[in-house]
Structure 1
């Protein structure tokens, strides 16, 4: 039999076939252009975020300070006081959106996210337990804040995800079962959070509530390290798992036929999503709805079948930093935590997803 003539194969709109000897690929300009545009929006958000404050600095001077130019006062304000906040928001948003994209692909459901599946609540229980039961948020020499809090948040998220997985896998791991079990675990953990807040004294309760709203106040180069190292390690892992992740969009038999080992792949992806969520939550607290909405926004921008991992991470970073800009500047002297803004933007989208899912089941 002769090989098929690729020259006579009709082209798919938006896709250009590439072939070099035995290697073939498909070039989709959208997969490159859209992430570059999102990255430009993120960079602009960082410039604006670093320029706003009691000492206003124009965007061009912020850019000069970031690249080592400008005067010393601008460099000090930008790099030491404001840049850590913007970088923390970008890292946390990227981690949460990447975790949301992984969970939505695993569950094959746009409603799946760490917020709904109890992972965020588990991280919150771990961190708030350290704040309340540890006696002080900072601990001795800041040990609790720099070590205990991230470790407790990660442990709480892992335990919550393990509970959801073990309860959902008993009769087959389906999207609806994962969502139902996750909602139940989330409700239980929310009750535990309420109990911890009632048990706390007024000072610790205030600190815990500020943390639970998802705030970038007090961000520094030290506090962003857990999120930075978590994302630096797990983003390459997630990208390496992108091929089996794409195969999970099919049914289990088809995925196995493509050579994907279902159980190890799901376990690795789930652990990656949980650690990303816990690392972000440890640095900023629960930033609501970034993990839910940003993967779906990236999916619609790139027009892919499953949430794109890298584009989702970039979208989450840009949305979080822009939300911080709005929270700091849109309400005059009142500064809102970034989690309040993302919740206000993401809650209507959640309602839209619920309504659309109900209509799909009815039809």
Structure 2
């Protein structure tokens, strides 16, 4: 192998999980250290003087239909909590990928259950899951997931969300000398380095087999692209509007992104009331008011404060939260409690 890998491990229920992997070229001679003041901040530097800071956040990957998804190295373990209360590391069935999973995004709406996974080798993988009523037949099975086909090599994808059932929104960086840039070809050697906001269209060339996950035949195409002038802290899809998402920039500033028909890029609309601090973890709840549903943003900052849009701090000492869209309210977890 021509690379070195930094792996992030997590121990729970007497089991070690590989939660993240970052690859560097061997000649980079990468070194790293955890920030002593920020427990989830990793600092890496190379022999050539490149310094990269990673800010990790804990995300609870549970769909609205109570399906739990757990990253474990090159596997995503799937458990429908509505059918069986299996605590990790136990699971109902597993999805196997070609390399370690760096992150994932879940789509659950109108009886469609999909997930997209980012791999440490730069691949983008898509899976469409069958109706949950058929999952008992999948118990104990492992399904091999193939990488999606694409003519463009993706940069280092930093943020990824679903806009609708066949469209993704990502923030990618081109110019790093590690991670998926290890595998870049001449397709983007002439591209200018920087951050880009990209819409990714997904199509599947294979027929769906009832009762089985669709793990291959996916094609990914970058249909729209915007150059970003500011650093993006986080992205969250807007449940009140199709093909729309909220983007958080520095100092907690919030803007809404809306996809447009035709070619070219989407648009960043008017600025919304933001957070009073930068919140690496963010989500959106739908709240009914005067007969209408409106989006309300929630964000979790680095010192455990849960914010809502408008600069309001909802609670302190919070380690994670999850929004149930059916009820439009966040579920929080306090630090130091199980």
TM-score tier (shorter) = under 0.3
The TM-score with structure 2 as length reference comes to: 0.25
User: More helix by proportion, 1 or 2?
Assistant: 1
Q: Which structure has the bigger radius of gyration?
A: 1
User: More strand by proportion, 1 or 2?
Assistant: 2
